[in-house]
């Protein structure tokens, strides 16, 4: 059974509704609850690196993610990440040259706490790709996987699509 | 972009609650609605083969599934199937010798129409595995994939686990 | 603030899906969770009398419900009950002559554990009617209230409608 | 069967998540869908007056709501409204002196489109109170009803509580 580490960084995936202020915010990650619900039976470790909107992700944050990937004992790593700057973080990971690691970034367009989230589907997709793809850095969204330098988020449609690196 | 055919056969995945009789039954498949919600952007074709509880799956039904796989233009095929006899249908597909096809069976422990279903996760998982695994027949459940003759459903726990063929 | 006792007897309201056997069954009531979610701020006491399908309700069960109503300190009582024999239990309560009590029976057509249940709406309705209706025995379903001897469940449509006693 | 008019004004009740911008916004009201799900069998008319956050409600908006209530043929009116200024709109309605009308304002702390909304419960509660309370202007929240000048929203807890007018 594959050992997989899930690094949580926040993003839409984990946003919740604050009923007193009416704004979306972060509390704890929903990933462990999602894994229980889906009866995942991998050798999984969930580690929260940060809980931020990916528009607030900066070089320091990306360096922290790179360090966690480098330090992880696992060769398979899934990163939950906001979609807006997911490709930038993927690029930072690729430049860090971690040759023995398969790293898959995923996220959600709608928070898991909403009834209609795509989060479960994307998590299932990322966990599957990470077990079978060769070492490298990938984005898994919309049921597809892309090498880090061949993908962009189309901001008009919210869909990830093939792009020249 | 990969062309994938999804063959729907029913199973817990697609069960609904009949509010007049209080029993679970089948109407139309939820797979297209699930794919919309998850913003899947694969080249997908959904085909309903039958809508049955997999305890009612027999040789005629399995022959029909085999025929649909053989006739499909796609090289990647996902089959939604009840979990109770999923491994038997996988075996029937393996024996049919379809060497150019990657076939992944998946299902759910809780109906999609319920709030707490594992169906979206499993669908995301199966659609991902089918794009990257070599030709063969597989079961994708619990975030894992198994070759058809190396898996069984543990009926005490409901979990799919490795088994000698 | 009104003191209200909620007597739980089971019914569709509280049915859950057993993922190992694929049948609906009863475990604990969902009423306390529903009340938390809805931020109910009444002086509420929840008491589970039984957890059964109302097709299995018999004279002994009804006598038990009558006794609980008679013994309750509260003057306002909501009873969650399967819809199939809700009117029979209402009749048994009316015949018990509890002149100081307002008793409202309610239920659901779809289990609360399903995504599309009517349970929350019906619970909100019953809790509201019980605070303002004069003493008597009522059924609250479909957003309406009916005196116990002026209602029947239409088994073709699943709707409660006015009927001569 | 009572004739009830539901006036929709927006509020948290009807907020949705915009997956492209990540903010909450208004599209169409969910009230008709909620009524279908709950199998409401009242003589109901749903009318959208506006779709706004109640922090944006002003004198012109309130005058419009008052006019709709005055013009309505029904004697029972439910108004869905944001919770922040619900009591102010209730006061405006009371000052308009509509002696033959029972008017009940309600709302939600969590949008209906979220999995964990209190909206269905509150809608069931408001529709029930409006059928049995004498003419006047009321707020229905947290399973309770309050006369318009005897209630305030506690902004620390989000709960509506009794207050001197």
D115–chain C nearest CA distance, Å: 8
Residue of A105, C119, A71 lying closest to B19 (CA atoms): C119
- In chain A, positions 137-156, which contact chain D (CB-CB < 8 Å)? 155-156
Three-state DSSP string of chain B: CCEEEEEEEECHHHEEECCCCCCEEECCCCHHHHHHHCCCCCEEEEEEEEEECHHHCCHHHHHHHHHHHHHCCCCEEEEECCCCCHHHHHHHHHHCCCCCCEEEEECCCCCCCECCCCHHHHHHHHHHHHHHCCCEEEEEECCEEEECCCEEECCCCCCEEECCC
A132 touches chain B (CB under 8 A): yes
Q: For residue C128, which residues of chain D lie inside 8 Å, CB to CB? A: 124-126, 128-129, 140, 143, 145
Provide, as residue numbers in chain D, all residues whose Cβ is less than 8 Å from the Cβ of C141: 39
Determine the angle formed by the axes of helices B119-132 and A119-132, rounding to 10 degrees. 30
Q: What is the pLDDT of residue D116?
A: 87
* Structure-block tokens of residue C99: 């002149």
SS (H, E, C) chain C: CCEEEEEEEECHHHEEECCCCCCEEECCCCHHHHHHHCCCCCEEEEEEEEEECHHHCCHHHHHHHHHHHHHCCCCEEEEECCCCCHHHHHHHHHHCCCCCCEEEEECCCCCCCECCCCHHHHHHHHHHHHHHCCCEEEEEECCEEEEHHHEEECCCCCCEEECCC
d(CA D140, CA D106) in angstroms, rounded, equals: 5
- 10 Å CB burial of residue A149 (0-12, 13-18, 19+) is middle
Both tokens of B133, joined, read 């695994």
pLDDT, one tens digit per residue, over A24-83 is 999 999 999 999 999 999 999 999 999 999 999 999 999 999 999 999 999 999 999 999
Residues D26-51 have pLDDT tens digits of: 999 999 999 999 999 999 999 999 99
Which of A40, A41, A121 lies at the smallest CB-CB distance from B38? A121
pLDDT of residue B69: 98
- pLDDT by residue (tens digit) across A103-146? 999 999 999 998 889 999 999 999 999 999 999 999 999 999 99
Contact state of B127 with A145 under an 8 Å Cβ cutoff: no
Q: Is the pLDDT of residue C38 over 80?
A: yes
List pLDDT tens digits, range D50-85: 999 999 999 999 999 999 999 999 999 999 999 999
- Nearest chain C alpha carbon to B15: C22
Which residue, chain included where needed, has tokens 């009524």?
D35
Contact D113, D16 (CB under 8 A): yes
Tell me the pLDDT tens digit for each residue of D123-149: 999 999 999 999 999 999 999 999 999
pLDDT in tens, C9-24: 999 999 999 999 999 9
- CB contacts under 8 A, C 17-76 vs D, are 34-35, 37-42
Taking only the tens of pLDDT, chain B with its 165 residues reads 789 999 999 999 999 999 999 999 999 999 999 999 999 999 999 999 999 999 999 999 999 999 999 999 999 999 999 999 999 999 999 999 999 999 999 999 999 998 889 999 999 999 999 999 999 999 999 999 999 999 999 999 999 999 975
Check if B104 contacts A (Cβ < 8 Å).
no
pLDDT of B165: 55
Q: Measured between CB atoms, which of D20, D22, D113 is closest to A114?
A: D113
Contact of A121 with chain B, judged by CB distance below 8 Å, is answered with yes
pLDDT for A165 equals 55
Contact B154, B145 (CB under 8 A): no
| Structure-token pair, residue B2 | 């990969």
Nearest by CB to A113, which of D15, D22, D114? D114
Among D10, D11, D17, the strongest candidate for a mutation testing the A interface, having the largest count of A CBs within 10 A, is: D17
Tell me if residue D2 falls in helix, strand or coil. coil
Residue C113 to residue C117: CA distance in whole angstroms: 7
Question: Is it the case that residue C165 has pLDDT exceeding 70?
Answer: no
Considering only alpha carbons, which residue of chain C is nearest residue D160?
Answer: C41
Between CA D12 and CA A11 the distance in angstroms is 22
Return the half-sphere exposure (C-beta side, CA atoms, 13 A cut-off) of residue B140: 35
Nearest to D20 among A19, A20, A158 (CB): A158
Partners of C142 on chain B (C-beta within 8 Å) are none
Q: How far is CA C59 from CA A129, C6, C91, C138, D136, in A?
A: 58, 20, 12, 19, 43
Confidence at D165, pLDDT banded by 50, 70, 90: low
Whether D20 and A53 lie within 8 Å, measured CB to CB: no
Residue D86, helix vs strand vs coil: helix
pTM of the model as a whole: 0.95
Rounded to the nearest angstrom, the minimum Cα separation between C41 and chain B is 26
Q: Is A144 exposed, middle or buried (0-12, 13-18, 19+ CB in 10 A)?
A: buried
Quickly count: other Cβ atoms within 10 Å of residue D66's Cβ.
19
Tokens describing residue A32? 């462990």
- Is B39 within 8 Å of A118 when comparing Cβ atoms? yes
């Amino acid at each position: 059974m594959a050992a997989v580490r899930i690094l949580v960084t926040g993003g839409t995936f984990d946003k919740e509704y604050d009923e007193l202020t009416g704004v979306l915010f972060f509390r704890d990650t929903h990933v462990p609850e999602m894994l229980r619900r889906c009866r995942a039976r991998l050798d999984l470790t969930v580690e929260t690196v940060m809980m931020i909107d990916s528009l607030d992700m900066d070089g320091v944050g990306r360096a922290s993610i790179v360090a966690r990937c480098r330090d992880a004992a696992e060769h398979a790593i899934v990163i939950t990440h906001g979609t807006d700057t997911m490709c930038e973080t993927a690029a930072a990971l690729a430049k860090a040259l971690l040759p023995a690691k398969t790293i898959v970034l995923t996220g959600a367009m709608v928070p898991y706490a909403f009834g209609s989230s795509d989060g479960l589907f994307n998590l299932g997709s990322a966990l599957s790709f990470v077990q079978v793809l060769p070492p490298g850095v990938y984005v898994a969204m919309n049921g597809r996987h892309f090498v880090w330098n061949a993908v962009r988020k189309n901001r008009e449609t919210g869909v990830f699509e093939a792009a020249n690196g």
